Structure 1
Amino acid sequence: MSQEWVLRGERVVTDTGVRPAAVVVRDGKVAAVVGPSEVPSGPPVTDVGTKVIMPGVVDSHAHINEPGRTEWEGFETATRAAAAGGITTVVDMPLNSIPATTSLQALQVKAAAAEGHCTIDYGFWGGVIPGNVGELEAMIDAGVTGFKCFLIQSGVDEFPHVTREDLERAMPVLARRGVPLIVHAEMTDAEGPPQGDTRTYQSYLASRPRQWEDDAIRMMVELCRKHRGPVHIVHLSSSDALGTVAAAKAEGLPFTVETCPHYLTFDAEHIPDGATWFKCAPPIRESENREKLWTGLARGDIDMVVSDHSPCTPALKHLEHGDFGKAWGGIASLQFSLPAVWTGMRARGHGLEQLVRWMCEAPARLTGLAGQKGSLTPGADADLLVFDPEAPFTPEASGVLHRHKLTPYSGRPLVGVVERTWVRGQEVHTRGAPAPGPTGRWIRRPGTARPVK
């Protein structure tokens, strides 16, 4: 039986701009986007007035850590927090779970852990590590979104970093199958712990200079040019690399870049000594660097903004000593990515269309889901948000839905509240109401995954 309903409002972010419109939903899909006076008679209509209707956010970079390190996060808590933050599709990184997602068997273990526990739709990145080239085709057939690698120590033993020689073997496979290689782009021969007083943030910042990113990105441009497969740089922190990125794009290479809410929100000058909950890799840099990242985003050098949600247990942040040398590097942000980015956008004069471009449409393209996720195009999944872009709020620990409450966004005033979230036409979040049961599905990469027998 066909199920049809309508979501109507004065500010709908459509492919042709922000305008009064109504989204007609039929059987979990966007059936049409029509004018307010063209709503079909019969189906129920929800009118949200001046609140914004927009596509659900696609977050292509999150560490959910299950199985193996579920005490760090987990599919149930991560996806519930994501729904509250307006994210309707999340793609899980191949680490820090145990086993790491570097073989078909490990992928099957990961998928089994997720099934039946996710509030929103989800996908999986595979991993490229030394010696696993023989596993890549099988994981592509099974539906991974693409593959991640590290050019520097990852922080966990299960996911060793690769050399250029490793990539020369793996990249032809990925290029032939048309799936992206996503790269943690830091590279050095001189890695070591912070020097001096390791309670100071400046000691940590000095230990991971911009040049590590800049050199790694230059190498990946060379490899992209040689192998002609899509390459994507994750969590860009160094604004000094933007010229290299712009030149690669001008050359027509399939080269894309993301940055993250924390690099666009915080700055090194205002991170207190001992505040290890701000530690991430690459590090949050200076305010002038942050503003150049915003400029690169507006110019199109940076394609998208995704969370890099990378939580851990509070004990691993070494809060009692505030030691940046010993603390785990990663920021918990899944629930607050959308309002954090929107807060920064408003302050710099960017609008709702850019928000959808950077947080919905571009990550959908990266993951092969353009036309299915991240837009209100007829035929797309009815992943919808009601968003109040003028509403201020301040995150507090009591409202954090991640497994652990520690996040640098606590106590920071933000603007933009997600009122309601739908995935494939099913409501998965209503502000102030209990979350419904999990209904999320594994979304395999279209065009490369083989039919599941």
Structure 2
Amino acid sequence: MGFVIRSTRVVLPDGSVDPAGVEMRDGRIAAVLPGRPRADIDLGDLVLMPGLVDTHVHVNEPGRTEWEGFGSATRAALAGGVTTIIDMPLNSLPPTVSAEALAAKQAAAAGQCHVDVGFWGGAIPGNAGDLAALHAAGVFGFKAFLADSGVPEFPPVTSAELRAAMAAVDALFLVHAEDPDRLGVSPASRVYADFESSRPGAAECSAVGAALDAAEATGSRVHILHVSDADAATVVEAGRARGVRVTAETCPHYLTLDAAEVPDGATEFKCCPPIRGAANRDRLWAALAAGGLDIVVSDHSPSTPALKHPETGDFAAAWGGIASLQLGLPLVWTSAAARGHDLADVVRWMSSGPADLVGLHHKGRIAPGADADLVAFDPDATFTVRPDGLHHKHPVTPYAGRRLTGVVRRVWLGGTKVTPGDPPRGRLLTRSADLLEPAR
């Protein structure tokens, strides 16, 4: 049986926010009805928007499930209005660098996921011969590091190895772009500026250039991950202008935090590449508005609290990663609204854009035929971030005490209303969008 949800504010694919009803049937959107049609659910003035698609999430299961797991990560996603995630190939054990490792990851995820989940593969030294089979098994593309990943089982590739991997398979390649030759050694220090200065923006720009050169030489698609330095966005734009098939992302922490405001010893702020200053943050927003940066995703990269070394506050020793999967939408909306952007912009950056990046064109939009993954969002409500309200496995966050605007009120996954406390009903997705679990 189908049913209709209506709102005075529905975010539509053309960028308009209009009164409409959305008819859902068999897990999909059957029709978008203009105006105020008869409805089973009337949201009033709550915004009805497509669920977010987050293509940069480190779940870490199996192998490092004590850091995060599919159950806890996808509950956090659901609470934050994220209805689809794509899991990174590290920091799980084994990393997703072969078809066999993908099968292990899928087995670990089965039956645990509160939202739909797909998987990236990994390109590391020596596995170029495994990439075609891994791609055929359904990963959405391949991630490579040009600098140390932080875990020994996922070593970085050289520029030549990246080029060889791109030549081995026609696929989307994601690149963590920092040039190891331009990175310094972070001293043992509680002062954030000492860590930040060890990973300068020049290292990002150099590595982005190398990734673009590899993509240009092989004709590959390349996606630059977590751009933190605004000059790197300029390098991306120059590559696009010369015909390289390149897209790029940034993350909520780079768009909302300021290096000058990081307290001494507050290692919950550490990530790689690092949070930079306010002037750079303004330029990232300008690049996003102009289309130089394409999407905003979380880079949810949690660890156990002990790995953040809170007892010493040593930035050099602490794990580099920020857990923000649950908070991405209000973080971005709070800053976007203050800068004159609207909800259609946020949907483009966080729903349809990431969905299109990975070829899930039936997600991230309110249109006939799309998955009925929907969010009722109150864009005017405010709340204060409390760690005990987070569903991540470990509530370590740089946003504790931060006042944000925008509250997720309800979520529908495949046309069914869901909450983080409900039994898991998410699907495992492959690049071809075939389901590995029964249809809901």
Residue 390 of structure 2 corresponds to 400
Instruction: Name the aligned partner's letter for residue 255 of structure 1.
Output: V
1:101 deviation in Å? 0.5
Instruction: Name the aligned partner's letter for residue 114 of structure 1.
Output: A
Residue 185 of structure 2 corresponds to 193
2:233 is equivalent to residue 242 of structure 1:
yes
Is the partner of 1:186 in helix, strand or coil?
A: coil
Residue 432 of structure 2 corresponds to 446
2:290 is equivalent to residue 292 of structure 1:
no
Match of 2:380 among 387, 390, 396: 390
Task: Determine if contact 2:163/2:215 at 8 Å carries over to the other structure.
Answer: no
Is the partner of 2:181 in helix, strand or coil?
A: coil
Sequence identity (%): 53
1:37 deviation in Å? 4.1
Task: Determine if contact 1:59/1:89 at 8 Å carries over to the other structure.
Answer: yes
CA distance in 1, matches of 2:47, 2:320: 35
CA distance in 1, matches of 2:172, 2:269: 29
CA distance in 2, matches of 1:119, 1:259: 25
CA shift digits 1:133-181 (9 cap, x unpaired): 1111111111101100000000001100001121121102333xxx210
- For structure 2, list consecutive stretches of 5 or more residues without a partner in the other structure: none
2:51 is equivalent to residue 53 of structure 1:
no
Instruction: Name the aligned partner's letter for residue 31 of structure 1.
Output: A
CA distance in 1, matches of 2:182, 2:381: 47
Residue 143 of structure 2 corresponds to 148
Is the partner of 1:157 in helix, strand or coil?
A: coil
Match of 1:413 among 396, 403, 411: 403
2:63 is equivalent to residue 68 of structure 1:
yes
Residue 310 of structure 1 corresponds to 301
Match of 2:174 among 168, 182, 189: 182
Instruction: Name the aligned partner's letter for residue 17 of structure 2.
Output: V
Task: Determine if contact 1:93/1:125 at 8 Å carries over to the other structure.
Answer: yes
After TM superposition, list the pairs within 5 Å mapping 1:426-445 onto structure 2: 426-429=416-419, 435-445=421-431
Is the partner of 2:314 in helix, strand or coil?
A: coil
- CA shift in 2, pair 1:190/1:295, >3 Å: closer
1:189 deviation in Å? 2.1
CA distance in 2, matches of 1:132, 1:397: 40
CA shift digits 1:350-372 (9 cap, x unpaired): 001101100001100111102x1
Residue 371 of structure 2 corresponds to 381
- CA shift in 2, pair 1:450/1:20, >3 Å: closer
Matched residue count:
436
Instruction: Name the aligned partner's letter for residue 437 of structure 1.
Output: P
CA distance in 1, matches of 2:277, 2:232: 15
Residue 33 of structure 1 corresponds to 32
1:192 deviation in Å? 4.6
Is the partner of 2:180 in helix, strand or coil?
A: coil
1:38 deviation in Å? 4.2
CA distance in 1, matches of 2:198, 2:184: 7
1:450 deviation in Å? 11
Residue 320 of structure 1 corresponds to 311
CA distance in 1, matches of 2:138, 2:186: 40
Residue 353 of structure 1 corresponds to 344
1:277 deviation in Å? 0.2
1:191 deviation in Å? 4.2
Task: Determine if contact 2:8/2:36 at 8 Å carries over to the other structure.
Answer: no
Residue 167 of structure 1 corresponds to 162
Task: Determine if contact 2:252/2:296 at 8 Å carries over to the other structure.
Answer: yes
Task: Determine if contact 2:324/2:397 at 8 Å carries over to the other structure.
Answer: yes
CA distance in 2, matches of 1:361, 1:184: 23
1:243 deviation in Å? 2.1
Task: Determine if contact 1:386/1:420 at 8 Å carries over to the other structure.
Answer: yes
Is the partner of 1:199 in helix, strand or coil?
A: coil
CA distance in 1, matches of 2:435, 2:206: 37
CA distance in 2, matches of 1:244, 1:103: 32
Instruction: Name the aligned partner's letter for residue 301 of structure 1.
Output: G
CA shift digits 1:53-97 (9 cap, x unpaired): 000000000000000000001000000010000000000000000
Task: Determine if contact 1:174/1:180 at 8 Å carries over to the other structure.
Answer: no
TM-score by length of 1: 0.94
- For structure 1, list consecutive stretches of 5 or more residues without a partner in the other structure: none
TM-score by length of 2: 0.97
Task: Determine if contact 1:339/1:415 at 8 Å carries over to the other structure.
Answer: yes
1:251 deviation in Å? 2.7
CA distance in 1, matches of 2:278, 2:357: 28
Instruction: Name the aligned partner's letter for residue 169 of structure 2.
Output: L
CA distance in 1, matches of 2:82, 2:373: 9
Residue 110 of structure 1 corresponds to 105
Is the partner of 2:31 in helix, strand or coil?
A: strand
CA distance in 2, matches of 1:221, 1:142: 27
Residue 123 of structure 1 corresponds to 118
CA distance in 1, matches of 2:351, 2:102: 25
Is the partner of 1:388 in helix, strand or coil?
A: strand
Instruction: Name the aligned partner's letter for residue 335 of structure 2.
Output: G
CA shift digits 1:182-227 (9 cap, x unpaired): 00000122545313x6110000001100111000011111112111
CA distance in 2, matches of 1:20, 1:280: 41
- CA shift in 2, pair 1:71/1:451, >3 Å: closer
Structure 1 runs of 4+ aligned residues shifted over 4 Å read 449-452
2:38 is equivalent to residue 12 of structure 1:
no
Higher alpha-carbon deviation: 237-246 or 68-77 = 237-246
CA shift digits 1:74-124 (9 cap, x unpaired): 000000010000000000000000101001111100000001000000000
Is the partner of 1:264 in helix, strand or coil?
A: helix
1:25 deviation in Å? 0.2
